[in-house]
Structure formats: structure tokens, C-alpha cells
Amino acid sequence: MMSAGFMLVPTRFLDACHERCGDYFTLRPTADREIVVTADPEAVKRVFTGDPDLLHAGEGNITLAPLLGPGSVLLLDGAEHLRHRRLLLPPFHGERMRAYGETMEEVAERRIREWPSGRCFAVLPSMQAITLEVIMRAVFGFEDAERRDRIGGPLRRILDAVASRPRVLALALTAGRNGPLSPWRRFAALRERADELLYAEIAARRRDPGGEHGDDIFSLLLAARDPDGRPLSDSELRDELITLLLAGHETTATALAWTLERLARAPRVLDRLLSAEAAGDDSYLDAVIKETLRLRPVVPAVVRRLQAPMELGGWELPAGANIAPSIYLVHRRPDIYPRPLAFRPERFLEDPPGTYEWIPFGGGVRRCLGASFAVFEMKIVIRAALRARRIGARSGARPEGVTRRAITFAPARGARIRADRVSPAGAGHAARAQSR
Ligand code: HEM
């Protein structure tokens, strides 16, 4: 099946393929690449629980290699992937992760104060600013803004170079060409500058491990050792730091923008959320975030490349085939989610889906490393927004369309909402969203 439609109208295209072909169909994004898409939760389960040596994920992310480098957990497979994953996981869970809560709240409150009042605006850029600052501070731990900007500025510029599909495409088309107008040349120069700064920082921290740092992710990764006592090398560390910055900010910003876009257009849900928050009940906000990630998954699919033939759903797939569990289509199955197009967080409280039926963070040994961190941050930012502003939309505003950005399905108009400042007299609405 031709897949130009996937580039232009991705969600309509996927819906049409599913309707015509059912739970399995093949896309050809380029002449030499085939991807078998599946919307069958049984197949998803087999892919996520299958042998990682048979189902490689790293190869599927190869277009990011020039930015991330070969030592990135996103690009590795097999034993090396597991080694990196184990070293990276601890800062993203439990108490260590919760230590970043204060920073998240401070950044969110400051950025939300900048929102206009009394008119509609696109909230996505503000969410990108919040999540980028949060991940930078969680990773580097610089409290000193001047130091943060010295390393953050160049890093921001290389992340920006891969922030949209046209930019990624321009880099792929000019890769290795150093003509004066080549986007690749500009990118390579930016990367060199960022790498110089990162390697200098790695050297400084290795010389003085205690230094002025504490629980930031950088310091934790420097100190981490695998069971054989082996640390991450300088270049592995550089690649993982860039990976965390890239994987951690655009995805979370887009998920936050969708949450506000949905809430602004669903006053009944918003009202119930405010009441639940006032009662100190966290479960409804949790359900709102789950329902947003169901209906508007930020990453529409994940890909695994077969290293040997495999049977799936009655199909014999050869070695080299790419299998893509479609997060987007699984989340719209009416047999799992009755009235799938309705935004109904209650469904997660009444009849929660199974492990392989709600998969916004992928699954198995490749499941998103930052899933808990992302949901934790989303809760803090949404609560800060509800406390300070009365969220709404232009009257009669329609649901925003979906557009493909670099790796995400994002709101086509940047998630346009209204967020009027709450006057002290009318603070009842906002005061109900407590800070926790
Ligand atoms: C709402 C926000 C996010 C979404 C929707 C998301 C989604 C995903 C998805 C779908 C995958 C691929 C999983 C698979 O192949 O099965 C993934 C992998 C990954 N994510 Fe996230 N992510 C989010 C936030 C974050 C954050 C905050 C971080 C870190 C700071 C992060 C770090 C990673 C890493 C390192 C991987 C690679 C894991 C591996 O290959 O073992 N993500 N994410």
C-alpha cells in the first residue's frame, strides 16, 4: 500500500488502512522499506514479550544516529542495550525522581505567569519551554542560570535542528555535504560545539566527582557501575545525555499540550477534575492523563526489526521485516474502548485496559525509560495551570487536528486554549486545584 498519505494526513490515512485491511497491513515509506503495521493486542503482546535478540528496536531509530551517537540506548540492541538501560533507569524512579518535583513546580509556575489572559493562544511553545528547562536542570543540576545557559544554549540549538520533519529530511538529504548553504554543515558545527562543552563538563566532573553537584542525572550516571564494575565511557555518557534531553522534552511537552487542549474543550471533565483535586483525590487527574495519551498518543507507533523469520497473526514474516505495533490504532479499538472517539477519563476508573491495550510508552525491554518521570511532571504542570488560570476555549472551538512533527503526533495549531487569570474574588475555581 502506498504511504504518501501517511506523511500528509497521518491519522486519516491510518484509519482508512485499518478500515480497509483490518488489524494487519503493510506500509512502504520508501521503495526499499516495508513496515508491517498491527493493531492487534495479541500481536502487540507477542512483540513486547518476544526475544529482544529476535526483535531489534535500535535499528528502527537509526535516523537519529547523527545526533545521538552510537552509544545511545535508543540505538543499541542486545546485551549492550540492557547494560545501558540498567545504568540509566535509577534516576527515573521513586524518591530520586520525586526530588525533581520542586524544580518542576517552580519552572511551571514561572512560565504559566507569562501566559496571556483574556484571549486564545497556542500553549505548546510554553510547554516546550517548561519541559526543556526541567530536563536540562534534572540532567545537569546547575542551579546557576548563567552556567546552565552556557551549556544549554548550544544543546538547545542542536535539539532544534531535529525539531521538525522538514529539518530532519534536510539533514538526511545533505548528510556529509559541506557546501556553504548545507543544513548538514551547520548541524555538524553545532554538534561539534555542543560536544566540546559536554566533554569538558564530563572531564571536570570526573576530576571532582563530589563538586557542587548532588542528585542530578549526570552525576548519578557518572557514578553508575554495571555488575562487572564498568562505568559508562566518556562517549557513551555524551550519547546518553543527548538522548535523555531529546527523548525527554518534546514528547512530554506535546502530551501536556494535548491534555490542556482536551480539557479546554471538555468542561464536564474539567469540572470533575477540579472537584476531585479539591477533595485530594489524585485518581481522576491520573485518568485524565491516561485518557489523553490514549486518544492523542504522542508517539503513534514503535518499530521492531526481525532478525529471523516469525509468524504473526497467521502471517509468515521474513528476517529483516519491520513490525510496528500501532499505538494509535490499538487505542481506538471499540472492543476495548467503547465510543473510542469520546474523551472519557472515567473509562480508566471503571474498566481499566490490559497491559497490551494501553501502550503510549511502548513496552517490554524497550518501554519508555522516562514514563514515570513524564507522568509525574505532567501532573505537576497541569495542577499549576489549574491553580493559576481558568482553562477554556473559544466558544464552539473544535478539537484540534493532528500533525506530524519530528517524531510526534502534535496539535496542528499548537493547542489553542484560553487561560484567564483568576481574580482573587473568583479564586474558588482555581483554589480547588491544590498544590501537592
Ligand atoms: C509523555 C511523554 C513520553 C512519551 C509518550 C514517550 C514515549 C516513548 C516511546 C513510545 C518509546 C519507545 C518504546 C518502545 O520502543 O517500546 C520511548 C522510549 C524511550 N523514552 Fe520516552 N516518552 C516520553 C517521555 C520520556 C522522558 C521524559 C524520557 C527521559 C527523560 C524518555 C526517555 C526515553 C528513552 C531513554 C527511551 C528508550 C528506551 C529503550 O530503548 O530502552 N521518554 N518513549
- 245-279 pLDDT per residue, tens: 989 899 999 999 999 999 999 999 999 999 999 99
* Confidence grade of residue 431 (pLDDT, cut at 50, 70, 90): very low
Mean pLDDT, residues 111-124: 97
What whole-number distance in Å separates Cα of residue 337 and Cα of residue 118?
Answer: 36
In 3D, which of 112, 105, 89 has the Cα closest to residue 137? Answer: 105
- 369-388 pLDDT per residue, tens: 999 999 999 999 999 999 99
Q: How many Å lie between the centroid of ligand 1 and the Cα of residue 368? A: 3
pLDDT of residue 430: 47
- The string of DSSP codes covering 26-78 is EEEEETTEEEEEE--HHHHHHHHHS-TTTEESGGGGGGGHHHH-TT-TTT--H
- 206-223 pLDDT per residue, tens: 988 766 666 789 999 999
pTM of the model: 0.94
Is residue 289 in contact with ligand 1, taking CB distance under 6 Å?
A: no
State yes or no: pLDDT of 433 exceeds 60: no
Nearest-CA residue for ligand 1 atom 42 is 370
Q: Which ligand 1 atom sits nearest the alpha carbon of residue 74?
A: 40
Is residue 366 in contact with ligand 1, taking CB distance under 6 Å?
A: yes
- End-to-end, the C-alpha distance of the chain in Å comes to 50
pLDDT of residue 3: 58
pLDDT of residue 427: 46
- 24-82 pLDDT per residue, tens: 999 987 777 889 999 999 999 999 999 999 999 988 777 788 889 999 999 999 999 99
State yes or no: pLDDT of 161 exceeds 90: no
Mean pLDDT, residues 108-119: 97
Is residue 244 in contact with ligand 1, taking CB distance under 6 Å?
A: yes
Q: How many Å lie between the centroid of ligand 1 and the Cα of residue 73? A: 10
State yes or no: pLDDT of 305 exceeds 50: yes
Nearest-CA residue for ligand 1 atom 30 is 248
Q: Which helix (H) or strand (E) holds 263?
A: helix 234-264
Q: Give the mutation target among 73, 86, 361 for probing the ligand 1 site: most ligand atoms within 8 A of CB.
A: 361
Which domains, ranges and CATH numbers included, belong to the chain? 4-141+213-431 (1.10.630.10)
